[in-house]
């Protein structure tokens, strides 16, 4: 006997019942269209007939788990992702704010990503430090300037990065970021070593309300 994937959940924000079965159908169709595939293409890749796949997408046939496994594999996703509940109570992230020596850092990632990257917003009021105080660590850093002008010191070079521009660089080069003239705000993506170099030594002052 095939196990039916039909299920319902409730939306905590509205109290409305969520039809997981219908949501799965929409996900299958959306993922197929995003790849530019016809029903025939997905049917061939998932070893299902085009007519069966069409009935699955349109709701004319109930979805069985033994059909979802090859469909998920063909669409380069997982069964868990295909059938997961739409409820997400943790959409809003409360950043942690850290302050030290003219730099305020808001870490924006809820938890460490699989690639060990941290997303952080930084506000700096002091210029980049002199060459003797520059940091070095493995990897690469990336940032974009949200407002103001950033000073990026790379070894002996001082590079000005204006609002709307971005910078990416090897962090094996001695480097530091600061404000040019007035306060600057940047959004940075840091490796694990970059986080330790730029954030770990700041003082945690609690959550932003």
- Residue 154 has phi, psi (to 5 degrees) of -120, 100
pLDDT at residue number 132: 80
Dist CA 95 CA 21 (whole Å): 35
My answer on whether 136 and 79 are in the same domain is no
What 3-state DSSP class applies to 165?
coil
My answer on whether 114 and 196 are in the same domain is yes
My answer on whether 197 and 147 are in the same domain is yes
My answer on whether 52 and 123 are in the same domain is no
Percentage above 70 pLDDT, the chain: 70
Mean pLDDT of 98-103: 72
Is residue 44 a contact partner of residue 75, using CB atoms and an 8 Å limit? no
pTM value is: 0.52
- Residue 88: inside a domain, yes or no? no
- Poorest-pLDDT segment among 35-49, 103-117, 133-147, 185-199: 103-117
My answer on whether 113 and 135 are in the same domain is yes
Mean pLDDT of 23-52: 93
Dist CA 109 CA 120 (whole Å): 7
Q: pLDDT tens digit string along 69-95?
A: 999 999 999 888 888 876 655 566 666
My answer on whether 116 and 202 are in the same domain is yes
Closest listed residue to residue 32, CA positions, set 51, 45, 19? 45
What range does the domain containing 50 cover?
8-83
My answer on whether 65 and 130 are in the same domain is no
- Poorest-pLDDT segment among 60-64, 173-177, 181-185: 60-64
Give the count of domains, the chain.
Answer: 2
């Amino acid at each position: 006997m095939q196990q039916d994937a039909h299920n319902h959940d409730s939306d905590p924000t509205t109290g409305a019942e969520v039809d997981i079965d219908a949501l799965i159908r929409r996900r299958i169709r959306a993922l197929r269209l995003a790849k530019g595939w016809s029903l025939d293409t997905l049917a061939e890749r998932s070893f299902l007939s085009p007519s069966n796949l069409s009935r699955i997408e349109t709701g004319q046939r109930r979805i069985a788990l033994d059909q979802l496994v090859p469909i998920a594999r063909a669409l380069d996703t997982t069964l868990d992702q295909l059938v997961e509940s739409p409820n997400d109570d943790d959409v809003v992230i409360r950043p942690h704010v850290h302050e030290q020596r003219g730099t305020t850092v808001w870490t924006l990632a809820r938890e460490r990503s699989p690639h060990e990257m941290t997303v952080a917003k930084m506000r700096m009021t002091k210029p980049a430090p002199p060459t003797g105080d520059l940091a070095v660590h493995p990897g690469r850093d990336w940032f974009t300037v949200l407002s103001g002008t950033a000073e990026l010191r790379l070894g002996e070079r001082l590079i000005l990065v204006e609002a709307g521009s971005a910078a990416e660089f090897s962090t094996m080069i001695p480097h530091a970021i600061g404000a040019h003239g007035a306060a600057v705000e940047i959004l940075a993506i840091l490796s694990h070593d970059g986080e330790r170099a730029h954030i770990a030594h700041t003082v945690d002052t609690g959550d932003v309300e």
